[in-house]
Amino acid sequence: MNKPVVHVAGAGLAGLAAAVRLAGGPRKIVLHEAARHAGGRCRSYYEPALGMTIDNGNHLLLSGNCDARKFLTAIGSEDQLAGPSEAEFAFVDLATKDRWRLRPNAGPLPWWIFSSLRRVPGTGALDYLGLLRLLAPGKDAPLGAVMRRGGLLYERLWRPFFLAALNTEPVEASSHLAAAVVRETLGRGGRACRPLVAAHGLSAAFIEPALNYLAKHGVKLLFDHRLRAIDFAGGRAKALDFGGDVVQLDAADNVVLAVPPYAAQGLVPGLRTPEDYRAIVNAHFKIVPPRNCPAILGVVNGTIEWLFAFPSRLSVTISSADRLIDVPRDKLAETIWAEVAKVTRIERPLPPWQIVKEKRATFAATVDQNARRPGARTAFANLVLAGDWTATGLPATIEGAIRSGYRAAGLIAASQKEKGRPGWKTWMA
């Protein structure tokens, strides 16, 4: 008898995570990706303007991103993440020139807020209690209605923190998503807040080892293989149309649809998804960073928000950057470089640069868009969804994407037929 097949459409992190979880199990896995490469919004590429391989965007993880770290352990690349042994974030305020280091203590009892050497300068311990209101149960609401806006603590900590995590101006962002981020990171103490980056690039950490793992476990990888339509009948997906070829599905076959929301909407009738997006702008400068430059620097009161120092490159991230999408790239490069030069105290003209504008970097983490996120199950018995935009309870992040892939895989593995098989529990563990 033929093994049942799981077709995973989309080889971003969500699809890769689903495939990694299911690989080596009782089903045959086939991964279909529309592009010629895997990774989706999280990958490295060769950038001719700089003559080097860079990431499509600077990606920051926190040590509390458990599923992302489990994924890296599963594919054998956790050593690719680099970061300090304790939570520490360097900041500079461009308006006042103040510099400080935020250093939450390791444990969950936040005594760091009582230390002027660890908290934000100009703030007092009591200011931090405002966060408790965010964590209290209640209806989802814009963060601006739940937290006090303005003031040093908001401008120097909460705004940069939530803007980076949600890619949405915090005032309009979902309080539930913000609270989920706090619960999984800052709320667990500094141990869960160590900043981590893929030291040798996103592909070397997340993508290439995942593809190697899948190949080793007999997963069939098909690139340039866009899912164009799904044929449905009797409450199930019956066939997958890839243009040139149509794959008929047997009764025991399953599909994980791990494509972006706009693609999923066109493939699944009646599917409601987020429809509003936020941009991210990254600027890369080919220059060796000064010796004293922190690996990651938060910048307040500037156009730039985070500055990443790599061995031969300085890289800037600007979140919720829709206002910058129409700004000419050379003008943007000049503006951003002027700020980079100021915060790093580099005195030299604009080095070779590249600006990468991702218009639909993530769905907008607002209350109404969050409410449009579907769960993994669909109206069709053998079709599940994965992707950072599904209802993970987290904003669109690496952690959310991987968690969604794991959850989709879990649903397939736990399906009734699977339960009947001897040994399925051992395989799921």
Ligand X SMILES: Cc1cc2nc3c(=O)[nH]c(=O)nc-3n(C[C@H](O)[C@H](O)[C@H](O)COP(=O)(O)OP(=O)(O)OC[C@H]3O[C@@H](n4cnc5c(N)ncnc54)[C@H](O)[C@@H]3O)c2cc1C
Q: In DSSP terms, which residues pair with 273 in a beta bridge?
A: none
Are the CB atoms for 108 and 190 separated by under 8 Å?
no
* Cβ proximity to ligand X, 38 vs 92, nearer residue: 38
- Closest distance of CB 138 from ligand X, Å: 26
Q: In DSSP terms, which residues pair with 385 in a beta bridge?
A: 257
* Cβ proximity to ligand X, 376 vs 398, nearer residue: 398
Report CA dihedral (376, 378, 381, 387) to the nearest 10 degrees.
-40
* Cβ proximity to ligand X, 297 vs 361, nearer residue: 361
Q: In DSSP terms, which residues pair with 309 in a beta bridge?
A: 314
d(CA 307, CA 305): 7
- Closest distance of CB 264 from ligand X, Å: 8
d(CA 59, CA 266): 29
The residue count of the chain comes to: 429
* Cβ proximity to ligand X, 241 vs 368, nearer residue: 241
* Per-residue tokens: 329: 């790239």
- Closest distance of CB 408 from ligand X, Å: 11
* Per-residue tokens: 239: 């066939």
- Closest distance of CB 263 from ligand X, Å: 4
Residues of this chain that interact with ligand X (CB under 6 A) are 9-15, 32-35, 40-42, 56-57, 59-61, 226-227, 258-260, 263, 280, 282, 358, 361-362, 387-388, 396-399, 401
d(CA 386, CA 11): 11
SS3 14: helix
Containing 221, the helix (H) or strand (E) segment is strand 220-222
* Cβ proximity to ligand X, 29 vs 60, nearer residue: 60
Containing 385, the helix (H) or strand (E) segment is strand 383-385
* Cβ proximity to ligand X, 228 vs 342, nearer residue: 228
- Closest distance of CB 390 from ligand X, Å: 8
* Cβ proximity to ligand X, 112 vs 389, nearer residue: 389
Q: In DSSP terms, which residues pair with 256 in a beta bridge?
A: 8, 384
d(CA 78, CA 72): 5
- Closest distance of CB 304 from ligand X, Å: 14
- Closest distance of CB 233 from ligand X, Å: 20
- Closest distance of CB 240 from ligand X, Å: 9
Cβ neighbors of 6 (< 8 A, separation 6 or more) are 22, 27, 28, 29, 30, 253, 254, 255, 256, 412
SS3 86: coil
* Cβ proximity to ligand X, 45 vs 424, nearer residue: 45
- Could you give the residue ranges of the DSSP H alpha helices within 174-305? 175-184, 202, 208-216, 261-267
* Cβ proximity to ligand X, 33 vs 208, nearer residue: 33
- Closest distance of CB 278 from ligand X, Å: 10
